Structure 1
Amino acid sequence: MAAANTVVPSMLRTFRPNGTTGVYAYYDGRTCPWHESNWYEETLALGVATYSIISGNSAVLFDAGLTPAHAAHMLAHVRSLGATDISTVVLPMETYEKSLSLQFGNIKVELHNFQIHTADSTLLFLPESGLVLAGDMLEDTVTYISEPQSLRPHLAELERMGQWPIKRILPAHGSPDRIKAGGFDKSLIHATIWTNLLMSLPRGRRELDQVVKDDLVAGSLVYCEAYEGVHQENIESMKEIRAETAGV
């Protein structure tokens, strides 16, 4: 049996978030400065977490690994814990509308569609524990606005998520220490609503640490300097969409 906390090459850390049952995190990055050269280096600078949920001989992996080596480590880890019936991220063979309920061993897992980040985004919700695996919908320090033309629907969907009985949130990008400590509470949703709302307004350029100052003090967010790059990209993409709208 593998230990709950292991270290493998390439900065990949494996740990079990505090207070969770059958959930493991695989974390890579957030150890290097921001680069805009390519997707991989950007993601590594922000830090990326993928997760497994294990119950008996059943396991589900969420999401795909950052690299083939990352994915191989996830598979090897769940197998070392006795999982033989493993659900991985593959091209879809089944579709769903709004939600889909699945059973993995003794753990019920619900898939829910929210139009946040992208129109087809899916989160995993464990209703018995109130745990959400949020993927790219919620990020710490700030969520990347990939569809600026759909920011209003994204805000409405964040409000809908905020009404759920969520007890803890594990995002795909966030502080490894916070994830290891058990994740974020619902204040991460409210912090995301606030920063996205500011992005929807024609304001001057502000540094990210000033935009999220109150949420940093409250502990809803953990500042990561690499996200200044994401913040500036968000500002520019919102400027472009406002210019396009004004030109219509």
Structure 2
Amino acid sequence: MVSTSTLRVLEPAPNVIAFYDGRIAEKRIVSPEWNWLDDAAYCLGIASYAVVCGTEALVYDTHISIDHARFVRNELERRGVTTVRVALSHHHKDHVAGTEVFADCEIIAARKTAEMLAQKEDSYRKSNPSISPLIKPTTVFDGDLTLSIGSIDVELRPLDVHSRDGVALLLPKSRVLLAGDALEDSATYVAEPGRLEIHMAELDRLSTWDFAAILPCHGDINRIAEGGYSSV
């Protein structure tokens, strides 16, 4: 089991819940030896999110472990949620490790994400810690996708920043952007340097979107708790 003792629940925007863990000096939750969870996720600090309206919720990423995902689902159910859907921001381990907990839910992903997960399934199973089983998306889309979570409109928008299969989540009424890993601490991390020109062009496209606050997956807990990073 992976400890969730340091996982904190935040409410950074109306109808948005953040489940934040990590970025605690000298704290590890898996082992003293190098592993992707401690050294490439927990040390950065990471949040998954849920957009909640009444009995419906859309979970944006399934967190860094089965135990974290179970915490998320239990908290949503405690709050009265009975219908859960999942949207994946991209295929990296720290965003899909908890998919097993949502195996009975609709799991939504961009086509590129579904393709990357199919390619990575074996290596993820062999990783430390292992991600097995990796539950595949049940709904795959191209281009933009608009959903309704209760009375809240949600826009899933492909964004080729950080990872070629990135998907940002925009709440157009509240002008809140859940940025995944496209923006971290309001900066941007280049995971695919060979595609830097595309990365930069996509950042230019992102700058034309209408949003006022940025909630990244990797960021400072206090900034996230206070409503995120400004768009300017």
Instruction: Tell me which interval the TM-score lies in, with the shorter structure as reference length.
Output: 0.7 to 0.9
**Deviation of residue 144 (structure 1)?**
2.9
What is the CA-CA distance between 1:142 and the residue it aligns to? 4.4
Q: Distance in 1 between matches of 2:204 and 2:65?
A: 33
Matching residue within 3, 8, 11 for 1:13: 8
Q: How does 1:89-108 map to 2 (within 5 A)?
A: 89=87, 90=107, 91-108=136-153
Q: Secondary structure at the match of 1:182?
A: coil
Percent identity of paired positions between Structure 1 and Structure 2? 37
Matching of residue 29 in structure 1 with residue 22 in structure 2: yes
Q: Runs of 5+ in structure 2 lacking a partner?
A: 88-106, 108-135
Aligned-partner Cα distance in 2 for 1:23–1:39 = 27
Task: Out of 138-147 and 148-157, give the one that drifted further.
Answer: 138-147
Please state how far the C-alpha of 1:56 moved relative to its aligned partner.
1.1
Give how far 1:146 is off. 1.3
- The residue identity in structure 1 corresponding to 2:141 is Y
Which of 51, 63, 68 is the matching residue for 1:70? 68
How far off is 1:105 after superposition?
A: 0.1
The answer to whether the aligner puts 1:38 opposite 2:70 as a matched pair is no
1:169 has 2:214 as partner:
yes
How far 1:38 sits from its partner (Å)? Answer: 2.4
Displacement after TM superposition at 1:21 (Å): 1.2
Aligned residue identity for 1:159: D
Q: For 1:178, which of 212, 216, 223 is the aligned residue?
A: 223
TM-score normalized with structure 2 length:
0.72
Pick which of 34-43 and 68-77 moved more. Answer: 34-43
Q: Tell me, in whole angstroms, the C-alpha distance in 1 between the residues paired with 2:184 and 2:58.
A: 22
Q: Structure 1 residues 141 and 100, CA, compared in 2 at 3 Å: closer, same or farther? A: closer
User: 1:218 maps to which residue?
Assistant: none
CA separation of 1:158/1:14 partners in 2, compared to 1, >3 Å: closer, same or farther? same
C-alpha deviation, 1:9, in angstroms: 4.5
Question: Do the aligned partners of 1:117 and 1:144 also contact (CA within 8 Å) in 2?
Answer: yes
Map 1:17-166; keep pairs closer than 5 Å: 17=12, 20-33=13-26, 37-42=34-39, 43-89=41-87, 90=107, 91-140=136-185, 142-166=187-211
Q: Which has the higher strand share?
A: 2
Per-residue displacement from partner, 1:163-214 (whole Å, max 9, x unpaired)?
1111101000000000000001113xxxxxxxxxxxxxxxxxxxxxxxxxxx
Query: Could you say which structure has the higher helix fraction?
Result: 1
Contact 1:32 1:44 survives alignment (8 Å): no
Separation in structure 1 between the aligned mates of residue 195 and residue 158 of structure 2, nearest angstrom: 15
Deviation at residue 95 of structure 1 after TM alignment? 2.3
Could you report, residue by residue, the CA deviation over 1:2-43 in whole angstroms, capped at 9, with x for unpaired residues? xxxxxx9521001111xx211111100000359992211121
**Alpha-carbon shift at residue 93 of structure 1 (Å):** 2.4
Measure how far apart 1:143 and its partner are.
3.2
What is the number of residues matched between the two proteins?
178
Q: Partners of 2:187 and 2:170 in 1: how far apart?
A: 21
Q: Is the deviation greater in 75-84 or in 35-44?
A: 35-44
Alpha-carbon distance between aligned partners in 1 of 2:150 and 2:223, rounded to the nearest angstrom: 27
Cα deviation for residue 97 of structure 1 reads 2.1
Report the CA distance between 1:134 and its aligned residue: 0.6
